[in-house]
Structure 1
Amino acid sequence: MKWKTLAAGTMILFFCLVGGVITGEKATAQETIRLGFVADVSGVGATFYKGQKAAVDLFIEEINAAGGVMGKKLEVVVRDAQLKPDIGANMARELILSEKCDFLIGPTSSAVALAVTKVAKEFKKIVYFHTSNAEALTTTDFQPYMFQVVPNTGIEGRGIANYMAQKPYKKYGYIGPDYAYGHDQFNAFKGELAKLKPDAEIVEVVWVKLGETNYSPYIPTLMAKNPEAIFSSLWGGGLSTFIKQAKPYGIFGKAALCSLFDLDMLRVTGQDMPEGLLGYARCPFYAVDNPEMKAFVKKYYDKNQEWPADWAIMAYDGLIALTEAIKKANSTDSDKVVKALEGMKFKSLRGERYIRAEDHMANVGIYVGVTTKSPDYKGFLIMKDVVEVPAEKIWLPVEQVKKLQEGKK
C-alpha cells in the first residue's frame, strides 16, 4: 500500500509539473505578440533590409519599454525570402505554423509579396507591406488580411506622370526591371501620361532582368530615338549602377532622367549622382517637417549613427498602424484587427494618415523634387524643392478598385 501511495503521489506530482510547464508555455505565449518578418535579407535586398530591421527593432524597444501592447511584449522573428517567391511563401508558412507568429511583416520584392499575401489569406493572418508595393496587392490580388503603407506602383507611376506632364517633354523613353513591379509602374505611368498629355509619345521601352549589373548594351537602344525625358523603374543598387554607367554616354545632357531617388540609392551613388535630376521618393525624412518625424530621426540616428532611409520610415509606420489597430480591437485576432484597421486614422511619421477600407491602402503619396548637394549631408545628394503629390489625387477610385477586385474589366 505504501508503494501504491508513493506511486500515486509521484504521478500526481508529475502531472502537476507537466501541467505547470504547459501552463507556463501558454502564459509565455500569451505575454508576447510575435511578428514574423518575411524579409529579403540577401542579395540586392540586403541594403533595404538593414534599414527595415533597424526601424522594427527601434519600434519594438520603444513599445516594450512603455509596457507593450495590451500589456504584451512584441518580438520579431526573421526569415530570408532571398527575393524568391516560392521561398518567401515557405518562410511565411514556417513563421505561422512553426514560430506561431501572430502577424506578418512583408518583404521587399513585389513578386515575393504576391506569394506571401496568398499564405496570409490561407491562414487568416494579417500581413503589412512597407516596401513591396505592387498595386495588384490591393486590386486583382487583394485579400482582406493585408494592408499597405507604401505608395503602390499605381500611385507612383501616375504620380510621376502627373508631375512630368507639366513639363515641356513630349518624347519619352523608359527602362525598368522585367517583373511585376516594373510592369505595373510603367503601365500606370503610360496610362496617366496619355490621359494628361495626349500629344506625348513613349518612343522606346527597354526591359532588363532583375539584378542586372551591365547596362552598356541597353543604353544605346534607350537613346537611339532621342527621348527628351527618361522614366525608369530601376531601383536601389541597380539604378545607381545605371546612372554611373550612363554618365560617360552623356545621357544627362540629352535627356532628363526621373526615377526613385530613395536615401539608400543616393548614398550608394554618392557624388556620382548628377545635380538637377527630377525624381521622387516615398518618404524622404529631410523633407517631412513634423514633430514625430524629427523625434524618430534623432532616435534612429543616435542608435544607428546614420540617417533613416525611406524603408525604415515605412516599416516603422506599418507598426504604428498595426499596434494602433490591435489596441482598438483589444485583441490579436486577425479578423478583429482587420475590422479595426478599415478606415482607421493613425498618426504616422508622414503625418495623419488613414487606411482606406475598400483596399486597405494607406493614403500615402509620393514626394517629388530635384537632386542637389547639401552642406547638412556629406557624401551624398538629397532632393530640394520637394512637394508631396497626395494619394487622393493619384490612387485608383474606389469604383475601379472594386471592379478589379471582382475580376471585372
Structure 2
Amino acid sequence: MKSHGKKLISIGFVLLMVVVAGGGQNVFAADTLKFGFIADVSGIGATFYKSQKAGIDLFIEEINAKGGILGKKLEVIVRDAQLKPDIGANLARELILSEKCDYLIGPTSSAVALAVTKVAKEFKKIIYFHTSNSEALTTTDFQPYMFQVVPNTGIEGRGMALFLSKKPYKKYALIGPDYAYGHDQLDNFKKELAKRKPDAEVVDTVWVKIGESNLSPFIPTLMAKSPDAVYSAFWGGQLSSFLKQAAPYGVLKKAAVSSLFDLDLLRAMGADMPENLTGYARCPFYAVNTPEMKAFVKKYYEKFHEWPADWAIMAYDGLVAATTAMQKANSTDPEEVVKVLGGLKFASLRGERYIRAEDHMANVGIYVGVTHKDPQYKDFLIMKDVVEIPAEQIWLSVDEVKKLQAGK
C-alpha cells in the first residue's frame, strides 16, 4: 500500500510539473488582463506617446498594487503604428491574435484610429480613444466596442467657434493638416461659426500635408486676404513650426491666432511661445480643480518629475472608465463589458463623467484660455482665465448622431 501510494504521489507530481511547464502557462495568463496599445511612437507622435505611456503606466502600477481588477493584474503591450493606418490595423490584429489582448488602447492619429476601430469591431474587442478624436469614430464609423474620453473634433471645432464668435473678428483664415482630423476640425468650426455669427466670413482655408515642417510657403496664401483671425488645426511639432515660422511674416501682429495649446506644445515652445494668444486645451492639469486631479498630479510629478500633459491625463481616464465598466459588469470579458458602456458613469480626473449610450462619447468639453507667464512654471507658459465649454453645449444631438450613423 505504501509503495502504491508513493507511485500515485510521484505520478501526481509529474502531472503537476507538466501543467506548470506547459498548460499551466494558460493558468497564469488567465490571471493577466492584456491591453494592446497601438501607439504612434515615432515621428511627430513621439512626444504624445511619452505622455500617454506615462499615464497608462501610472494607472497600471496603482491598480496592480491593489490586487488588479477582479483578481487580474493589468499589462500593456505597445506597438508603433508610425502614424500609418495600414500598419496600425495590422498591429491591432497581431495584438489580438498573437498577444491575446482583449482590450486595445487607441493611437494619436485619427487616420490610424479609423483603421483600428474596424479591427476592434471585427474581433469584438473593446478599444478606447484618448488622443485621436475624429468625430467619425462616434458617427459614420461608430461601432459599439469603442468609447472616447477625448473631446472629438466636432466638440473642439464647434467649441472654439462658439467662443470666438463672441469676439469682434469678422474675417477668418483657416489652416490645418490635410487628413481626417484637420478636415473634421475645420469643417465643424466653419459650420458653427456661420450659425453663431452669420456676418463672419471664412476668407480662405489652407491645407498642408501632415508632418510637413516647412510652412513658410503656405503663410503668404493664408494672409493674402488680410484676415482678422487665424484658426489653426495643427498640433504638436507641426503647430510649433507654424508659430515660429509665422512670426517673421508678422502674422501674430496682424491677426489673432488660435489653436490647440496643450502642455507638450507649451513646453516645446518654451520662451518662444507668444503671450496673449487665445487657445484651447483638452485637459490642462493646472485649470482642472478636482480632488482626483490634484491627487493624480502629485503622484505623477513624484514619479516622473514633470507635470502631466493632457495626453497622460486622458490615457489614464480611459483606463478608469474601462475598469469601472468591468466592475459594473462583474467581468473582464469584452462581451459582458460592452453591455454596460452606454450610460456608464466614471470618476474622471475632470470630475464625474458619463459615456453617452448612443455614440459612446464621454461628456468631455474643452478648456479655453489665454497664454501667459506664470511664476510657478518658469520653463513654459500656461493659459490663464480658463473657462470650460461643456460637451453638452456643443456636441451633436442624439438625432444628429443617429442620422450620421445610419448614413443619412
Question: What TM bracket, shorter-length normalisation?
Answer: over 0.9
Which amino acid is the alignment partner of residue 193 of structure 1?
L
| SS of 1:393 mapped into structure 2 | helix
- Segments of 5+ residues of structure 1 without an aligned counterpart are 1-7
Q: For residue 47 of structure 1, what is the aligned residue in structure 2?
A: 47
| SS of 2:214 mapped into structure 1 | coil
CA RMSD of aligned residues (A): 1.6
1:268 aligns with 2:290: no
Q: For residue 4 of structure 1, what is the aligned residue in structure 2?
A: none
Q: For residue 174 of structure 2, what is the aligned residue in structure 1?
A: 174
Of 10-19 and 52-61, the range deviating more from structure 2: 10-19
Q: For residue 358 of structure 2, what is the aligned residue in structure 1?
A: 358
Q: Partners of 2:302 and 2:10 in 1: how far apart? A: 56
Q: Partners of 1:393 and 1:364 in 2: how far apart? A: 11
Are residues 71 and 254 of structure 1, via their aligned partners in 2, closer, same or farther at CA, if it must alter by over 3 Å?
A: same
Alignment of 1:25-36 (within 5 A): 25-36=25-36
| SS of 1:260 mapped into structure 2 | coil
Q: Partners of 1:67 and 1:270 in 2: how far apart? A: 41
Q: For residue 137 of structure 1, what is the aligned residue in structure 2?
A: 137
Which amino acid is the alignment partner of residue 94 of structure 2?
E
| SS of 2:385 mapped into structure 1 | strand
Q: For residue 79 of structure 2, what is the aligned residue in structure 1?
A: 79
Offset of 1:378 from its aligned partner?
1.1
TM-score, normalised to structure 1, is: 0.96
1:245 aligns with 2:270: no
Q: For residue 330 of structure 2, what is the aligned residue in structure 1?
A: 330
Q: Which deviations, in whole Å up to 9, do the C-alpha atoms of 1:278-316 show, x marking residues without a partner?
A: 000000000001111011001111111111000000000
1:154 aligns with 2:154: yes
Q: For residue 397 of structure 1, what is the aligned residue in structure 2?
A: 397
Offset of 1:23 from its aligned partner?
4.2
Offset of 1:19 from its aligned partner?
3.8
Q: Which deviations, in whole Å up to 9, do the C-alpha atoms of 1:94-117 show, x marking residues without a partner?
A: 110000011000000000000000
Q: Partners of 1:16 and 1:66 in 2: how far apart? A: 29
Alignment of 1:204-353 (within 5 A): 204-353=204-353
Q: Which deviations, in whole Å up to 9, do the C-alpha atoms of 1:28-63 show, x marking residues without a partner?
A: 111111111000001110000000001100100000
Which amino acid is the alignment partner of residue 40 of structure 2?
D
| SS of 1:218 mapped into structure 2 | helix
Offset of 1:248 from its aligned partner?
1.1
Runs of 4+ in structure 1 over 2 Å off: 8-23
Q: Which deviations, in whole Å up to 9, do the C-alpha atoms of 1:137-194 show, x marking residues without a partner?
A: 0000000000000000000000000000001111000000000000001111011001
Q: Which deviations, in whole Å up to 9, do the C-alpha atoms of 1:348-395 show, x marking residues without a partner?
A: 000110000000000000000000000000121100000000000000
Alignment of 1:33-112 (within 5 A): 33-112=33-112
Quote the sequence identity (%).
74
Q: For residue 3 of structure 1, what is the aligned residue in structure 2?
A: none
Q: Which deviations, in whole Å up to 9, do the C-alpha atoms of 1:109-143 show, x marking residues without a partner?
A: 00000000000000000000000000000000000
| SS of 1:373 mapped into structure 2 | strand
Q: Partners of 2:16 and 2:272 in 1: how far apart? A: 68
Q: Partners of 2:9 and 2:267 in 1: how far apart? A: 69
Q: Partners of 1:206 and 1:55 in 2: how far apart? A: 34
- Segments of 5+ residues of structure 2 without an aligned counterpart are 1-7
Q: For residue 5 of structure 2, what is the aligned residue in structure 1?
A: none
TM-score, normalised to structure 2, is: 0.96
Q: For residue 192 of structure 2, what is the aligned residue in structure 1?
A: 192
Which amino acid is the alignment partner of residue 95 of structure 1?
L
Q: Partners of 1:320 and 1:226 in 2: how far apart? A: 46
Contact 2:70 2:332 in 1 (8 A): no
1:183 aligns with 2:161: no
Offset of 1:17 from its aligned partner?
4.0
Q: For residue 385 of structure 2, what is the aligned residue in structure 1?
A: 385
Offset of 1:71 from its aligned partner?
1.4
Q: Partners of 2:104 and 2:397 in 1: how far apart? A: 28
